[in-house]
Chains A and B, each alone.
Chain A
Amino acid sequence: SAVISQKPSRDICQRGTSLTIQCQVDSQVTMMFWYRQQPGQSLTLIATANQGSEATYESGFVIDKFPISRPNLTFSTLTVSNMSPEDSSIYLCSVDVSANTGELFFGEGSRLTVL
Chain B
Amino acid sequence: EVQLVESGGDLVQPGGSLRLSCAASGFTFTNYWITWVRQAPGKGLEWVANIKQSGSEKYYEDSVTGRFTVSRDNAKNSVSLQMNSLRVEDTGIYYCARHVWGALDYWGQGTLVTVSS
* A and B assemble together: no
